[in-house]
């Protein structure tokens, strides 16, 4: 099968977060990635910006450079368009390619609000292209392992689930210059839609979908400092309208592995945990035992903090606590950035065309709708 001809929106040597470079490029340029994908074009804010990225990342000189989403969409030699720009730019940059019937891979969140996300998801259905959303935590090996443990009956039916997490920013009182939009709900990218949503999505992937979810939100620090990431100096103080303490409780849908009425509770606070405490503790209490996942270094176990994850099972009958091993695939271990390993799993599943093997824009819309429902009772 010929490699999937791929265009990337937002691969830039000067990007604030460098997500496209750190999470997407390593797989696409790996031996396995090259056997399934071929980068043929870049779209940036201008043609010169795209040309600069082609040079900076040493892509083939015949890689096409675009500065217009419409021009990229009109290119018949592009099969898949990958959108890695800031969330509030997703709509304008990816919509023309969806309208052209191309396959698309859009980073999570899909859009700045549910209405726009719904339009993009509906457009994919109408135009017939395939789609994928960047909820890569669903394919993370620790999540797959927990799903296997539950499915095997090792802890019996799930009775309750709890997660306690910290993160989103390196400290509780400031954000680096360039990421001020984390404090503006209208942009769509913040601790709730990114950190909370990724974790809540992968938890539900492992244990089952949550329904009748109620949220309690607090904005503990309405004023936040903006720091220069190079000097550490405070450059400004801004007012936030994004909650920095999120607590939810819901019910997991009944299934052969879940008891009726099983609750799922989640608490997330922006900023680091108390020194020495883990960033994430996730427990699944069952009839016969309990599973505990701990991530000491950070909460983003779908991305840069995956390697710090450890899993244990407590057998209620014997009283023993045993570690559970999980492994990366060999090709994942060979990728230079941990961020790229689960993203690579998405690409791999998409290339194989596994039905249901990767999340789509339709899945993204469902998660957007759930998040809206949870947040609906809160006013900043």
Residue 17 scores a pLDDT above 70: no
Residue 160 scores a pLDDT above 80: yes
pLDDT given at position 379: 75
Architecture per CATH, domain 137-327, reads as 2-Layer Sandwich (3.30)
Compute the C-alpha angle 193/11/70, nearest 5°.
90
CB 262 within 8 Å of CB 279: no
Residue 16 scores a pLDDT above 60: no
Q: Is 106 exposed, middle or buried (0-12, 13-18, 19+ CB in 10 A)?
A: buried
pLDDT given at position 292: 98
Q: Express each pLDDT in 239-274 by its tens digit.
A: 999 999 999 999 999 999 999 999 999 999 999 999
pLDDT given at position 124: 98
Distance (Å, whole) CA 155 – CA 153: 6
The mean-pLDDT minimum among 119-123, 319-323, 329-333, 352-356 falls in: 352-356
Residue 171 scores a pLDDT above 90: no
Architecture per CATH, domain 4-134, reads as 3-Layer(aba) Sandwich (3.40)
Residue 15 scores a pLDDT above 80: no
pTM over 0.85: yes
Q: Express each pLDDT in 271-299 by its tens digit.
A: 999 999 999 999 999 999 999 999 999 99
- Looking at the chain, the whole-number percentage of residues with pLDDT higher than 90 is 89
Would you state the torsion angle of the CA atoms of residues 95, 97, 99, 101, taken in this order, to the nearest 10 degrees? -140
pLDDT given at position 172: 86
Residue 14 scores a pLDDT above 80: no
Strand ordering across the sheet containing 174-176: 174-176, 223-227, 234-239
Residue 102 scores a pLDDT above 60: yes
How is the chain split into domains, by residue range? Answer: 4-134, 137-327
The mean-pLDDT minimum among 205-214, 224-233, 292-301, 363-372 falls in: 224-233
Whether the domain at 4-134 and the domain at 137-327 fall into the same CATH topology:
no
């Amino acid at each position: 099968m010929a490699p999937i001809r791929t265009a990337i929106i937002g691969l830039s040597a000067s990007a604030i977060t460098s997500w496209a470079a750190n999470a997407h490029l390593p797989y696409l340029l790996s031996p396995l990635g090259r056997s399934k994908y071929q980068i043929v074009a870049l779209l940036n804010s201008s043609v010169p910006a795209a040309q600069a990225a082609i040079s900076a990342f040493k892509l083939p000189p015949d890689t096409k450079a675009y500065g217009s989403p419409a021009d990229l969409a009109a290119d018949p030699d592009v099969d898949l368009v990958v959108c890695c720009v800031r969330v509030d730019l997703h709509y304008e940059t990816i919509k023309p390619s969806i309208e052209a019937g191309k396959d698309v891979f859009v980073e999570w969140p899909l859009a700045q609000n549910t209405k726009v996300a719904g339009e993009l998801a509906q457009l994919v259905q109408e135009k017939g292209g395939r789609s994928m959303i960047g909820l890569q935590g669903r394919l993370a090996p620790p999540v797959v392992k927990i799903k296997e443990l539950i499915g095997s009956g090792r802890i019996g039916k799930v009775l309750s689930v709890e997660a306690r997490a910290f993160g989103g920013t390196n400290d509780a009182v400031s954000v680096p210059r360039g990421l001020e939009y984390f404090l503006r709900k209208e942009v769509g990218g913040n601790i709730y839609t990114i950190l909370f949503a990724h974790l809540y999505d992968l938890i539900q992937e492992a244990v089952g979908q949550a329904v009748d979810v109620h949220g309690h939100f607090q904005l503990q620090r309405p004023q936040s400092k903006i720091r220069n990431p190079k000097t550490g100096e405070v450059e400004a103080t801004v007012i936030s309208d994004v909650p920095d303490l999120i607590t939810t409780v819901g019910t997991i849908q009944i299934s052969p592995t879940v008891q009726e009425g099983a609750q799922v509770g989640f608490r997330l606070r922006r900023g680091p945990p108390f020194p020495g405490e883990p960033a994430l503790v996730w427990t699944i209490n069952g009839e016969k035992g309990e599973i505990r996942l701990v991530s000491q270094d950070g909460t983003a176990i779908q991305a840069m903090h995956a390697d710090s994850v450890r899993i244990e099972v407590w057998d209620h009958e014997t009283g023993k606590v045993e570690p559970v091993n999980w492994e990366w695939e060999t090709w994942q271990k060979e990728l230079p950035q941990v961020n790229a390993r689960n993203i690579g799993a998405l690409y791999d599943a998409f290339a194989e065309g596994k039905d249901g093997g990767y999340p789509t824009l339709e899945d993204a819309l469902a998660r957007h709708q759930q998040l809206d429902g949870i947040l609906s009772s809160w006013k900043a």
